[in-house]
């Protein structure tokens, strides 16, 4: 069964490069990113894990716990982690799950039999503190993901969880935002006393709320 945005993220227990992890305990109260990659000791995955490790301070700033998933064995993770450090200039600094029986990958629908029967595709799940799936992205094995985009979506999700706004095309943190359609002009006047730019009654633009 596929996991869709708004669904509860399935719980699991698995070994990882940082010891056994009970997912719900691990992410309790935090945002989380769970992402799969097809295989250890492959070039694209090596660059993705290195880059994600470099972004760790950015994830920390946003209160996000990052977890990688591989269907390879735990013993293999240690040697590959050394290669990641050597080639990408940064040590692995988040847990890499060893989902050798594929049970987590199946729960999250990360194995697409028509792509490959045993390896995971490149899935990314962003999970909120309420344990609901907020974002799901899937890439093919041959295409490395853009983890800056994952951070950008987290910024949007965290902003829109707090304020009744939506973020427009190519929005980056700090850009103008759109007042949600559910907010009446009367309510908007109270929240945005300086007013807004009304391009259409349904397209009302304001500076990004700061608090
Ligand atoms: C890679 O990570 O480089 C990769 C993995 C599986 C298939 C193709 C490329």
Residues in contact with ligand 1 (CB, 6 Å cut-off): 38-39, 42-45, 141-142
Question: How far apart are the C-alpha atoms of 34 and 108, rounded to whole Å?
Answer: 10
pLDDT at position 1, please? Answer: 67
**Cα 140 to middle of ligand 1, angstroms:** 9
Q: Is 45 a catalytic residue?
A: yes
Instruction: Name, in order, each residue with C-beta under 8 angstroms of 70's C-beta and a sequence gap of 6 or more.
Output: 36, 37, 39, 40, 45, 77, 96, 97, 98, 99, 120
In the predicted structure, residue 211 carries a pLDDT above the cut 80: no
Q: Report the C-alpha dihedral over residues 167, 7, 69, 139, rounded to 10 degrees.
A: -50
Q: Among 20, 196, 190, which residue's Cα sits nearest to residue 96? A: 20
Cβ atoms of 165 and 157 closer than 8 Å: no
Average pLDDT in the chain: 96
Confidence tier at 115 by pLDDT (50, 70, 90): very high
Cβ atoms of 97 and 70 closer than 8 Å: yes
Q: Scanning the structure block, which residue is given the tokens 């929240």?
A: 191
**Cα 134 to middle of ligand 1, angstroms:** 26
Which of 21, 27, 32, 45 is flagged as catalytic?
45
Question: How far apart are the C-alpha atoms of 145 and 45, rounded to whole Å?
Answer: 9
pLDDT digits (tens, 9 = 90+) for 133-167: 999 999 999 999 999 999 999 999 999 999 999 99
Q: Whose CA is nearest to atom 6 of ligand 1?
A: 141
**Cα 76 to middle of ligand 1, angstroms:** 16
**Residue 204 three-state SS:** strand
Assign 3-state DSSP to the chain and report helix, strand, coil percentages, each to 5. Answer: 30, 25, 45
pLDDT at position 182, please? Answer: 97
pLDDT digits (tens, 9 = 90+) for 71-100: 999 999 999 999 999 999 999 999 999 999
């Amino acid at each position: 069964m596929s996991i869709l945005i708004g669904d509860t993220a399935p719980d699991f227990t698995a070994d990882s490069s940082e010891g056994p992890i009970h997912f719900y305990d691990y992410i309790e109260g935090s945002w989380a990113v769970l992402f799969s990659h097809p295989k250890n000791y492959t070039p694209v995955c090596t660059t993705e894990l290195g880059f994600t490790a470099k972004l760790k301070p950015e994830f920390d700033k946003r209160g996000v716990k990052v977890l990688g998933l591989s269907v390879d064995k735990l013993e293999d993770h240690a040697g590959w982690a050394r290669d990641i450090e050597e080639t990408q200039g940064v040590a692995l600094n988040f847990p890499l799950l060893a989902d050798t029986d594929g049970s987590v990958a199946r729960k999250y629908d990360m194995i697409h039999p028509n792509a490959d029967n045993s390896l995971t595709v490149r899935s990314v799940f962003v999970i909120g503190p309420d344990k609901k799936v907020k974002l799901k992205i899937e890439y093919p094995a041959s295409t490395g993901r853009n983890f800056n985009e994952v951070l950008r979506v987290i910024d949007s999700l965290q902003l829109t969880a707090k304020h009744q706004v939506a973020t427009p095309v190519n929005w980056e943190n700090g850009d103008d935002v759109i007042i949600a359609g559910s907010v009446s002009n009367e309510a908007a006047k109270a929240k945005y006393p300086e007013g807004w730019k009304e391009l259409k009654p349904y397209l009302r633009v304001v500076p990004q709320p700061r608090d």
